[in-house]
Homo-oligomer: A and B are copies of this chain.
Amino acid sequence: MTLYMNLAELLGTQIEQGFYRPGDRLPSVRALSQEHGVSLSTVQQAYRHLEDSGMAAPRPKSGYFVPAERSLPALPGVGRSTQRPVDVTQWADVRDLLRSVPGPNVRRLGRGMPDVHAPTLKPLLKLLAQATRRTDLRCLYYDSAQGAEPLREALARHLVSSGCQLAPEDIVITSGCQESLSISIRAVCEPGDIVAVDSPSYHGVMQILKGLGMQALEIPTDPVTGISLEALELALEQWPIKAIQLTPSCNNPLGYVMPEARKRALLSLAQRFDVAIIEDDVYGDLAYQYPRPRAIKSFDTDGRVLLCSSFSKTLATGLRVGWVAPGRYLERVLHVKYISSGSTSPLPQLAAAEFLKAGLFEPHLRRMRSQYQRSRDQASDFVTRYFPVGTRASRPQGGFMLWIELPADVDCLQLYRRLLTQNVQIAAGSLFSASGKYRNCFRLNFAGHAHRSIEDSMRKIGMAAAELIAEQHALG
């Protein structure tokens, strides 16, 4: 990472954590230059970056300030550690969420759907239709278990943006990121093994561990800097952990980008204790900062990082095209891919490869990044406006998910059920914990393309939450 980005990240973290409050004056360019031993222009670049992301505003002749209108909700707390590996539960609730919701009028803010109405996505549909008209009938044939070569070539080029230097033969195509994660965990671990995870964590991974008879060890995770390296180190000393599974860039559900230095430190830890890292990068391309954050995989020197991703968040979930760059586990990953689903459908692979090769992916990402960043600001604003006092909210640095923490006595499964009757679907926080923690939290998708509908939904959520709190007090 460049010097100015390092500095911007540091200042940004301090602002996010409330060290500088809205309206506060930020350190002068000269002071920062001296303190950090960098040039004046480096500090100016850092401030320009903070300005772009709405975290600093210049006032003529007075330097930089935290924007006064930035009255953001406080960040969620760091989850307490369970201190020991646990069996995963919560399947009934996850299944409930995955089921078709009755009626097309339900606003589904519970699942990880991106906005698929952007004009920059339209060519993908054309390319899908085109692939069906190929005279070689390629879309009807088996693909190789590793996946279509044109797509692996295009991906190898694309992955340079996350700092990864990979060849097409280092990549295995899958039927989406869930398959990438499932295959990676099966390639590295065996039943009975312990996997360390960030917490809260993506429910799909929790359920994989449950299904494979593995245990999850939930590591406390900071909503700004990510998984606690200190707690992780302790856990690695104490337990025979086989792999670390986490989402370090644009985390799901918290939205943070783990600082680069911490990514490197995590890798060192993994090397010291000789464990694999299963890195979920599915939201990484949607970081609001440019260039996008580096993947842990990009620092990997001994092939212990399995990078998992897909087009589900950047293009469309319905494509079901993902990939793994499995490092030293390539042969095992290929075997597990073959036995899991044979091979991936050629049709969406061909269309996605053409989309990338035609240079359509980058402009689409650019558009979606800034759209989601604007939506994040709006959604944060709606939290302040409509949610009960004391509500905390994450401050995502990428993607389209908000993590909401309500006062401690609110049961969000109850909130979830009540909101369904009002045609609003959220994802209860307990799904994101192996042991059903985060009862008073939920995850909210703000990707929807209609600003009005998000505001309307969030108003409903806020009212339902306030009702629950009032009922609680009446009872108590």
Contacts and interface: CB of A to CB of B under 8 A. Distances in A.
A120 interface: no
Contact of A98 (B121, B186, B204, B338): B338
Contacts of A210: 335, 339
B341 A143 contact: no
A133 B125 contact: yes
Nearest to A209: B339
B175 A345 contact: yes
A128 to B, nearest CB: 4
Contacts of A204: 338-339, 342
B339 A320 contact: no
A272 interface: no
A334 B191 CA distance: 20
Contact of A113 (B142, B145, B179): B142
A341 B178 contact: yes
Nearest to A345: B320
A234 B117 CA distance: 61
A366 B137 CA distance: 22
With most chain B CB atoms within 10 A of its CB, the pick from A129, A133, A146, A204 is A129
Contact of A345 (B113, B117, B186, B318): B318
Interface in A307-360: 315-320, 334-336, 338-348
A469 interface: no
The oligomer's copy count stands at 2
Contact of A320 (B137, B178, B341): B341
A456 to B, nearest CB: 21
Contacts of A315: 140
A283 to B, nearest CB: 15
A343 B318 CA distance: 9
Contacts of A139: 125, 128, 318
A100 interface: yes
A95 interface: yes
Contact of A207 (B91, B111, B113, B335): B335
A110 to B, nearest CB: 11
A94 interface: yes
Interface string A188-215: 0011000000000000100110111100
B319 A140 contact: yes
A140 B341 contact: no
A207 B334 CA distance: 12
A149 B100 contact: yes
B342 A94 contact: no
A140 B94 contact: no
Contact of A341 (B100, B142, B341): B341
A448 to B, nearest CB: 13
Contacts of A186: 211
Given A94-B338, A320-B344, A341-B176, A137 B111 contact: no
A468 B186 CA distance: 41
Contact of A348 (B179, B339, B347): B347
A131 to B, nearest CB: 9
With most chain B CB atoms within 10 A of its CB, the pick from A126, A204, A211 is A211
Contacts of A141: 113, 116, 316-318
10 contacts: A121-B140, A125-B132, A125-B137, A128-B132, A129-B133, A132-B132, A179-B342, A182-B339, A341-B341, A347-B347
Interface of A: 91, 94-95, 98-100, 111, 113, 116-117, 121, 125-126, 128-129, 132-133, 137-146, 149, 174-179, 182, 186, 190-191, 204, 207-208, 210-213, 315-320, 334-336, 338-348
Which 9 A-B pairs rank lowest in CB-CB distance, beginning with the nearest? A140-B316, A178-B342, A320-B345, A129-B129, A116-B140, A179-B341, A140-B318, A100-B144, A128-B132
Given A95-B338, A113-B142, 20 more contacts: A98-B145, A111-B142, A125-B137, A128-B129, A129-B129, A132-B132, A138-B318, A140-B315, A140-B317, A141-B317, A143-B318, A178-B338, A178-B341, A179-B340, A204-B342, A207-B335, A207-B338, A320-B345, A341-B341, A347-B347
